[in-house]
């Protein structure tokens, strides 16, 4: 898929709800793509939508100083990507304001972290959406270190213990939560969700004109 097509798909997903995407994934036989409910929108950046660029790390004591692997990993981010952070870090942040600025400069459209972030009031000023499990003032330096990137990673799931995220999967996050669309079915999920969304628009219009809910359900079925 070329870059222009990827950006077009992203723009179309921005108009859709995670709830409808989840329903379509259920229909297609992918019931465990939703992320755990403690993944929350931590910054004011709008909808999280883009292609997964995965970064993995682990708790590793080391002397104070920078994490060169983290910088190298972030340097590979491109236009339309979402940085997806995974690993066994607990109580520490995976990144803060400066790395968020660097990611945005690369064209990255947000971040999804199975762990913590910090500097949220400053990241807010960047209009850079971040979904993470918690906020913390504690830095990763000397505690948590990146050890791989652009590999399959596993994040906590809503209906399963883990959800696998592969490089190139599509990430969508809104006020209801976050969900992962496998790359192989992105186009199918997009088209089916757009159709479901159009149906819901029609239902709302009919209800506003006086149709009862019972009549809407009889006409449109379960939605």
Note the pLDDT tens digit of each residue in 188-223.
999 999 999 998 887 777 677 787 777 767 777 666
Within a domain: 148: yes
CA pair distance 76, 71, nearest whole angstrom: 9
Token readout for 91 is: 């109580």
pLDDT category at 102 given cuts 50, 70, 90 is very high
Dihedrals φ, ψ of 193, to 5°?
-70, -35
Chain centroid to CA 104? 15
CATH number for position 56: 3.50.30.40
Number of domains in the chain: 1
CA pair distance 82, 79, nearest whole angstrom: 9
Confidence (pTM): 0.91
pLDDT category at 83 given cuts 50, 70, 90 is very high
Q: Is residue 49 within 8 Å of 77, Cβ to Cβ? A: no
Token readout for 178 is: 């976050």
Q: Is residue 58 within 8 Å of 89, Cβ to Cβ? A: yes
Within a domain: 218: no
Within a domain: 189: no
The dihedral formed by the CA atoms of 193, 195, 200 and 206, expressed in degrees to the nearest 10: 180
Range of the domain at 36: 3-183
pLDDT of 53 higher than 70: yes
The whole-chain average pLDDT of the chain stands at: 94
pLDDT at 223: 61
């Amino acid at each position: 898929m070329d870059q222009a097509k990827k950006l077009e798909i992203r723009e179309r997903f921005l108009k859709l709800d995670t709830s409808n995407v989840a329903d379509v994934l259920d229909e297609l036989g992918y019931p465990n793509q939703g992320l755990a409910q403690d993944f929350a929108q931590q910054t004011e950046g709008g909808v999280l939508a883009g292609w997964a660029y995965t970064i993995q790390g682990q708790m590793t004591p080391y002397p104070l100083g920078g994490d060169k692997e983290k910088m190298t990993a972030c340097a590979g981010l491109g236009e339309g990507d979402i940085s997806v952070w995974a690993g066994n870090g607990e109580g520490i942040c995976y990144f803060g304001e400066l790395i968020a600025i660097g990611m945005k400069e690369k064209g990255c459209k947000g971040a999804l972290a199975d762990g913590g972030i910090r500097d949220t009031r400053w990241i807010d000023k960047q209009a850079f959406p971040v979904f993470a499990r918690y906020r913390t003032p504690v830095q990763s330096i000397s505690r948590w270190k990146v050890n791989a990137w652009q590999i399959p990673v596993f994040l906590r799931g809503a209906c399963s213990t883990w959800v696998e995220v592969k490089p190139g999967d599509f990430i969508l996050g809104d006020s209801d939560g976050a969900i992962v669309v496998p790359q192989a079915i992105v186009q199918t999920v997009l088209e089916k969700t757009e159709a479901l969304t159009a149906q819901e628009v029609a239902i709302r219009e009919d209800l506003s004109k006086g149709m009862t809910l019972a009549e809407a359900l009889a006409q449109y079925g379960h939605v």
